[in-house]
Amino acid sequence: MKKVKLALIGAGLRGVNYTNYALEHPGEVEVVAVAEPVEDRRMSFKQAHRLPDEMCYADWREMLNQPKLADAVLICTQDYMHYEPTMRALECGYHVLLEKPMSPDPLECIRMGERARRSGLVFSICHVLRYTRFFGTMKQMLEEGRIGRLMSIQHNENVGYWHQAHSFVRGNWRNADETSPMILAKSCHDMDILLWLAGDSCTNVSSFGSLSHFTAENAPAGAPKRCLDGCPAAEDCLYYAPKTYLTDEDNWMKLAISDDQSYEGRLKAIQEGPYGRCVYHCDNNVVDHQVVSMDFRNEVTAVFTMSAFTKECSRTIKLMGTEGEIRGAMEKNEIELIRFDRNEPELISLETPGGHAGHGGGDEGLIRDFIRLVADGGMAQGLTSADISVQSHMMAFAAEQARVTGQVVHMPAYLERFASATT
Ligand SMILES: NC(=O)c1ccc[n+]([C@@H]2O[C@H](COP(=O)([O-])OP(=O)(O)OC[C@H]3O[C@@H](n4cnc5c(N)ncnc54)[C@H](O)[C@@H]3O)[C@@H](O)[C@H]2O)c1
């Protein structure tokens, strides 16, 4: 296989995570350039990948203004900063791996999809769940007819009360006016998995949900705006910031609050930054629980529940077919097959190196597949395509519209509206 050259735009948590693959597989792939405005991040990335100064840029525009310097670009900036670098990178002839969600704007998603299709370049979206053994095995079981014809899907995204507080109350994805609604930011993965497993296009979507708990009315009596300003509920509150961010235990949330990971650095971050705010006194507006029901052209029906109010951060799913059921809990990495014609269920235990880390192996599977597609010059077939990613993003936009208006959204009519807006 030809050795692939990558350039990274955005050396934050996700960008660094994907490019670690190059450090572990130097024979397959190398990172040759980075664009990152935060100097410390740029410098530490430069060191890790041994990049010369002239291949380290402070902005993606500078990098993409150079003659083509790699085979592919990884775009790992924040949600609202995906469209412009993607369009430019495709224009320059780069294959692109783009973080999800593609964009908070449906028209931009459609336009990127169209540009990619016209270019013939690889354009993969980081729908990492497709690359997990967990969902890959389920898809294979469906294709083998192990439960007959699939009829119904019940899928839960158990966000975890602590994950909700970190990312969707205090953190980057708390306010839909600045980034994306929850169903897009967090659950576009789930819309994508449902589309994949259902095996046909989505026809109708309805949805309900609201922000009900992380609001000022639910604050403990006398709670100040910031945890460290003498909160009387410090001892009992699940969300008291020092419990999450000043602990010695390993947790990824600590990494997000400051580049200075010393105790003093983290203390300063929660004294001054967004992660030290009381979860009941933030400027969050994304929902903390939501349901979406869908039907598909092949008459499969699906119900999806996203809830902040779970202990684990995981996904649980039940697929119901004419001859049996498949049940699975992602964090346990176990799938149960229950056939109607057998007395005992079959338990399938999936050994995943690294356990549940990196989305149950999905992060590594995704980058490996992208590199294979790029090495092949875009001729090979991937697990997904730009068209499919646009479809599942449109399901998420439709679900949000259904939730806000309280009306069922008929997908063909919804898509038609956008089709006329893009021509
Ligand atoms: N696939 C998944 O499961 C998954 C999980 C989490 C986040 N995400 C998505 O990944 C993306 C990145 O998330 P993150 O947590 O890594 O964010 P982050 O803030 O840690 O990283 C984004 C980086 O982009 C850099 N940046 C800003 N302006 C830039 C510019 N002009 N040129 C180059 N770089 C620039 C920032 O300085 C930052 O380092 C988001 O879209 C997020 O929604 C996906």
- Residues 155-190: tens digit of each pLDDT: 999 999 999 999 999 999 999 998 899 999 999 999
Q: How confident is the model at residue 357 (pLDDT cuts 50, 70, 90)?
A: low
- 82 C-alpha to ligand 1 centroid (Å): 9
Q: How confident is the model at residue 240 (pLDDT cuts 50, 70, 90)?
A: very high
- Under 8 Å between Cβ of 270 and 241: yes
Percent of the chain exceeding pLDDT 70 equals 96
Residue 419 confidence (pLDDT): 79
Integer Cα distance of 72 and 102 in angstroms? 17
**Closest C-alpha to ligand 1, atom 15:** 13
**Closest C-alpha to ligand 1, atom 18:** 12
- Under 8 Å between Cβ of 402 and 207: yes
Beta-carbon contacts of residue 93 (< 8 Å; ≥ 6 apart): 68, 119, 121
Name residue, tokens 């495709």. 90
**Closest C-alpha to ligand 1, atom 21:** 12
Give me the mean pLDDT over the 35-62 stretch: 97
- 410 C-alpha to ligand 1 centroid (Å): 33
β pairing state of 346-349 and 334-339: antiparallel
Q: Convert the chain into a string of H (helix), E (strand) and C (coil).
A: CCCEEEEEECCCHHHHHHHHHHHHCCCCEEEEEEECCCHHHHHHHHHHHCCCHHHEECCHHHHHCCCCCCCEEEECCCHHHCHHHHHHHHHCCCEEEECCCCCCCHHHHHHHHHHHHHHCCCEEECCHHHHCHHHHHHHHHHHCCCCCCEEEEEEEEECCHHHHHHHHHHCCCCCCCCCCCHHHHCCHHHHHHHHHHHCCCEEEEEEEEECCCCCHHHCCCCCCCECCCCCCCCCCCCCCHHHHHCCCCCCHHHHHHCCCCCHHHHHHHHHHCHHHECCCCCCCCCCCEEEEEEEECCCCEEEEEEECCCCCCEEEEEEEECCEEEEEEHHHCEEEEEECCCCCCEEEECCCCCCCHHHHCHHHHHHHHHHHHHHCCCCCCCCCCHHHHHHHHHHHHHHHHHHHHCCCEEHHHHHHHHHHHHC
Residue 358 confidence (pLDDT): 65
Give me the mean pLDDT over the 203-219 stretch: 98
Domains plus CATH for the chain? 4-128 (3.40.50.720), 130-214+284-420 (3.30.360.10), 216-272 (no CATH)
- 291 C-alpha to ligand 1 centroid (Å): 27
- Residues 365-386: tens digit of each pLDDT: 899 999 999 998 867 777 778 8
Mean pLDDT, the chain, whole residue set: 94
Q: Indicate whether residue 12 lines ligand 1 (CB < 6 A).
A: yes
Q: Which of 13, 129, 192 to mutate to test the pocket of ligand 1 (most atoms within 8 A of CB)?
A: 13
Percent of the chain exceeding pLDDT 90 equals 87
**Taking the model in full, what pTM does it have?**
0.92
Q: Which of 8, 9, 14, 73 to mutate to test the pocket of ligand 1 (most atoms within 8 A of CB)?
A: 14
Q: Indicate whether residue 18 lines ligand 1 (CB < 6 A).
A: no
**Closest C-alpha to ligand 1, atom 35:** 10
Give me the mean pLDDT over the 14-19 stretch: 95
Residue 285 confidence (pLDDT): 97
Q: Which of 76, 163, 186 to mutate to test the pocket of ligand 1 (most atoms within 8 A of CB)?
A: 76
